[in-house]
Structure 1
């Protein structure tokens, strides 16, 4: 998930069930992850809980423009394929 956020320059919110269900203990562990791959917030307990986080959607634009600017870094002549 961390790599996916970074390579796509997007935020991710992952949720997980917690508590006891059908005889199994589920640990939860939801997270909010930034476009840089950093974990911004994480569920701390083994029960149901909300994890508030302040999300700046402008970070997506920043990452895509500076880190993963595919159009700006593309070099088709370096592929060894003929350019049409």
Structure 2
């Protein structure tokens, strides 16, 4: 499943550059994660990098975007193909 950023976000700017899929961007008030691009770092890392660097632990899994590990890997491959990688 994709991740999400809660309103506990302090806009510290550390998560955005860590995302290998460019899924994190600044929203109207806090950072947001695009569920179409979030693979929880599957295909890139063993753990989601944004969660690793977040100082306030405001990045849980998004219950509205449930995905299996195989689904996340398929999304990773589709994103890589779209990049031409």
- Normalised by the size of structure 2, how large is the TM-score? 0.28
The structure whose RCO (Cα within 8 Å, separation 6+) is larger is: 2
Bigger proportion of residues as strand: 1
